[in-house]
Amino acid sequence: MKEEKGLKEGKESFEEALARLEKIVAEMERGDLPLDAMMKDFEEGRRLVAFCTKELDGIRQRIEKVTATEPPAVEPLSII
């Protein structure tokens, strides 16, 4: 599957990583995984959380940069 290939190669998109993380959480919440499999999923989940956090931080920085340099599109309305 394309999604799994990207995840294994470490070239996943934010959306792919988030979808995989949601799947891991659902599997772990069921509680029917063997301990070894649960530990592997936990380790993968930690990696995915770190990846998603890094991606979101990058987007936040880009948004802050754009909004800091562009004038507002509409002048604020002053009511006197």
Is 74 contained in some domain? Answer: no
Is 77 contained in some domain? Answer: no
Is 78 contained in some domain? Answer: no
Is 79 contained in some domain? Answer: no
Task: Find the domain containing 49 and state its range.
Answer: 2-69
Alpha-carbon distance 67 to 70, whole Å? Answer: 5
Q: What's residue 79's pLDDT?
A: 80
What is the token pair recorded at 80?
Answer: 């006197």
Q: Write down the residue that tokens 């004038």 correspond to.
A: 71
pLDDT at 10 over 90: no
Domain count, the chain: 1
Q: What's residue 8's pLDDT?
A: 53
Average pLDDT (28-52) is 96
Is 76 contained in some domain? Answer: no
Give residue-wise pLDDT tens across range 43-57.
999 999 999 999 999
